[in-house]
């Protein structure tokens, strides 16, 4: 036994031997770590993938999804891992999910969160305008969301009066193009959709102006979009400025002024007066709290002597018709006065000033 211990000691006292053993241990550890990482990377995990191409705004049903095994290294953190988390969701408005693709979290939204991109892009102070278009007025479906357009206006029928054509509004950003069923024209890659409405945002004044013009078809008014850089055929017609068109529209329309409802401001420091009945005209004056300390409270009966009170309420009698002036005066001299006739007309509490 002693000889074995001595032999082991001599081995570890040999530097070359220790170095070789150390190298072997390191190589073994590296091999184990590398093998573990490789196995972890290629170890298959089950993830849902699309069985068909899914267009934007589409509800995802069970037949559109299947589970497949994928190498763990190819599945990123934002990949949805279960079929149950996919079915019942909707594809996002800007997401076409190809067949065989995994489902990424940003591709999926709930029905309640399904937005209309056109309204999201409205700038502060703008309202959406729905401008009627067709394949011809969109230049063969060549106007896209994000393009800038001008709105031109044509007036007259060319028979009873000369035709006028001019630019009404300019530098408008197109937010969306939709077909007659409200679907975005360029949203789907699997079907051709015919443009029916163009949506853009306008300030309220421009919205009103364009809306007025849109109802003037009986006057020969037509509106149509022109992409910036395009041109308008004005042969045998009279070009007019924007202001001339605006004047024409306003001359054939009437603005209904918006009347703001005025809210009566009640002064909390004005005293109130109520009748208490009886054979005489007995009334009670009620003041805000603080009489005699915070405020000076007083009343004058029938233009007589001013009476100062320190209580919140006081009852006085009238033997005939008369007037009553009740006042609350702040320390800075500001007076809050109620003047009323006795008996109180229509059982009111008088008029505060």
Q: Does CATH place domain 44-109 in 3.40.50.2300?
A: no
Q: How many CB atoms lie within 10 A of CB 109?
A: 17
pLDDT at site 264: 63
Burial bucket for residue 238 (CB in 10 Å: 0-12, 13-18, 19+) = middle
DSSP letter string, 18-61 = HHHHHHHHHHHHHHHHHHHHHHHHHSEEEEEEESS-B-TTPBPP
Residue pointed to by tokens 């106007």: 143
pLDDT in tens, 268-294: 899 998 876 655 668 899 999 889 888
pLDDT at site 181: 82
Q: Which two tokens stand for residue 140?
A: 């063969």
With vertex at residue 301, the alpha carbon angle to CA 305 and CA 287, rounded to the nearest 5 degrees, is 100
pLDDT at site 316: 87
For domain 272-352, give its CATH number from 2.60.40, 1.10.8, 1.10.10, 2.40.50: 2.60.40
Q: Which residue has the higher pLDDT, 30 or 88?
A: 88
Q: Does the pTM exceed 0.85?
A: no
pLDDT in tens, 174-226: 988 988 888 888 876 667 888 999 999 988 888 999 999 999 988 889 999 99
**Average pLDDT across the chain, whole number:** 81
Q: Where are the domains of the chain?
A: 2-40, 44-109, 117-251, 272-352
pLDDT at site 163: 86
**How long, in residues, is the chain?**
353
pLDDT in tens, 33-78: 766 666 665 678 889 999 999 988 888 999 999 999 888 777 888 8
């Amino acid at each position: 036994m002693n000889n074995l211990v001595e032999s082991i000691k001599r081995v570890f006292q040999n530097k070359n031997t220790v170095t070789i053993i150390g190298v072997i241990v390191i190589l073994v550890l590296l091999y184990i770590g590398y093998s573990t990482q490789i196995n972890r990377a290629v170890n298959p995990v089950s993830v849902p993938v699309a069985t068909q191409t899914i267009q934007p705004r589409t509800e995802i049903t069970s037949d559109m999804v299947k589970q497949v095994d994928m190498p763990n290294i190819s599945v990123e953190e934002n990949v949805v891992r279960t079929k149950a988390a996919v079915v019942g969701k909707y594809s996002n408005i800007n997401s076409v999910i190809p067949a065989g693709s995994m489902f990424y979290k940003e591709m999926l939204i709930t029905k309640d969160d399904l937005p209309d991109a056109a309204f999201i892009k409205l700038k502060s102070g703008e309202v959406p305008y729905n401008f009627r278009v067709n394949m011809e007025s969109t230049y063969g479906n060549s106007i896209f969301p994000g393009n800038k357009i001008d709105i031109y206006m044509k007036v007259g029928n060319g028979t009873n009066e000369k035709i006028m054509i001019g630019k009404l509004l300019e530098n408008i950003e197109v937010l969306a193009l939709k077909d007659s069923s409200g679907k975005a024209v360029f949203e789907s890659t699997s079907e051709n959709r015919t443009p029916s409405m163009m949506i853009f945002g306008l300030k309220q004044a421009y919205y009103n102006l364009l809306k007025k013009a849109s109802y003037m078809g009986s006057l020969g008014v037509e509106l149509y979009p022109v992409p910036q850089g395009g041109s308008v055929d004005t042969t045998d017609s009279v070009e007019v400025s924007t202001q001339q068109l605006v004047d024409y529209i306003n001359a054939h329309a009437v603005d209904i002024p918006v009347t703001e409802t005025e809210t009566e401001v009640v002064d909390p420091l004005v005293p109130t007066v109520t009748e208490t009945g009886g054979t005489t005209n007995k009334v009670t004056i009620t003041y805000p709290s603080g009489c005699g300390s915070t405020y000076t409270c007083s009343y004058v009966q029938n233009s007589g002597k001013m009476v100062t009170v320190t209580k919140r309420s006081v009852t006085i009698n009238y033997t005939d018709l008369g007037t009553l002036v009740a006042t609350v005066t702040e320390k800075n001299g500001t007076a809050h006065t109620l003047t009323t006739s006795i008996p109180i007309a229509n059982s009111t509490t008088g008029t505060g000033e």
